[in-house]
Structure 1
């Protein structure tokens, strides 16, 4: 049984969710965050819009840039949304010492994100898009398109 905490903006967040205590993380009215979600930031803002549904076992993380999730976004289980990543390009420097890149990302309004999707730093997902299960999003997703695959490519359009 999941127990939820109602935040002052009238959204429901499971008590089994791990959210870093930060004034950089905000939730819109009517949003629901299911159990076992992890949300953390290293300085950038994470904004989750109104009436969003974030299923269990998701991870939303950012570095110094913002992750913006619009209104009416549905995120299926086991999705990873990354606003930053590790640098690894230099062979003569240990990966652990190369630092991080901070690109942030933006997810528009009225989006459906399928299970097991990975959204990488720097992505912009346009309004009304659908991301198929198991996809890896690496860049721009135009509005009202349906994308799937690794990397995600356009397979259709919403009418």
Structure 2
């Protein structure tokens, strides 16, 4: 299910799995780079995925409202010009793929920057800033995001039950 008011740029660079819901106001910007969306994915309203460096969402990943994922970023040091209207020769971009593992959940208003992969089963609290890769099965929060504790793996049994019942 994709909301009528979702904006999809670069459809030819996007792969969407089964049982996916993309809410209203979402922007998928894949005019360059790629976006791979697994199965059983939810992308909450008002989220933005900038795919120039590539973004992959593993099965059962969930983005709450207003999540921003950037796989490319301008250099803010003043050593280069910034913004998409400037020719590439005058820019200094950081591009790195972003991958969210299976069962990752990202809270509302969080921002994920280039190269900040999130390991399987991890949860990121609302309004967090993910600057670097996060290890699997942790609960993270803050700006920058820090590990608070381990996350339960009990949901893996629920996944098996769901798949055994063919989604019923």
Separation (CA, whole Å) in 1 of partners of 2:137 and 2:67: 20
Structure (1/2) with the larger helix percentage: 2
Structure (1/2) with the larger strand percentage: 1
> For 1:36, what is the secondary structure of its paired residue?
coil
Q: 2:63 aligns with which of 75, 78, 103?
A: 75
Q: TM-score, normalised by structure 1?
A: 0.86
**What corresponds to 1:130 in structure 2?**
123
**What corresponds to 2:162 in structure 1?**
none
Does the alignment pair 1:49 with 2:38?
yes
**What corresponds to 2:139 in structure 1?**
146
Matches within 5 A, 1:10-29: 12-29=1-18
Over aligned residue pairs, what C-alpha RMSD do you find?
1.4
Shift of 1:52: 0.3
Shift of 1:59: 0.3
Q: TM-score, normalised by structure 2?
A: 0.82
Matches within 5 A, 1:62-141: 62-63=51-52, 65-91=53-79, 93-95=80-82, 97-141=90-134
Separation (CA, whole Å) in 1 of partners of 2:75 and 2:6: 29
Separation (CA, whole Å) in 2 of partners of 1:132 and 1:156: 12
Shift of 1:90: 4.7
Unaligned runs of 5+ in 2: 153-168
Contact 1:62/1:102 (8 A) holds in 2: no
Contact 1:88/1:98 (8 A) holds in 2: no
Separation (CA, whole Å) in 1 of partners of 2:122 and 2:112: 13
The number of aligned residues is: 146
Shift of 1:87: 1.9
> For 1:124, what is the secondary structure of its paired residue?
coil
Following TM superposition, where does structure 1 have runs of at least 4 consecutive aligned residues deviating by more than 6 angstroms?
A: none
Identify the range of structure 1 (34-43 vs 119-128) with the bigger mean alpha-carbon deviation: 34-43
Separation (CA, whole Å) in 2 of partners of 1:55 and 1:88: 28
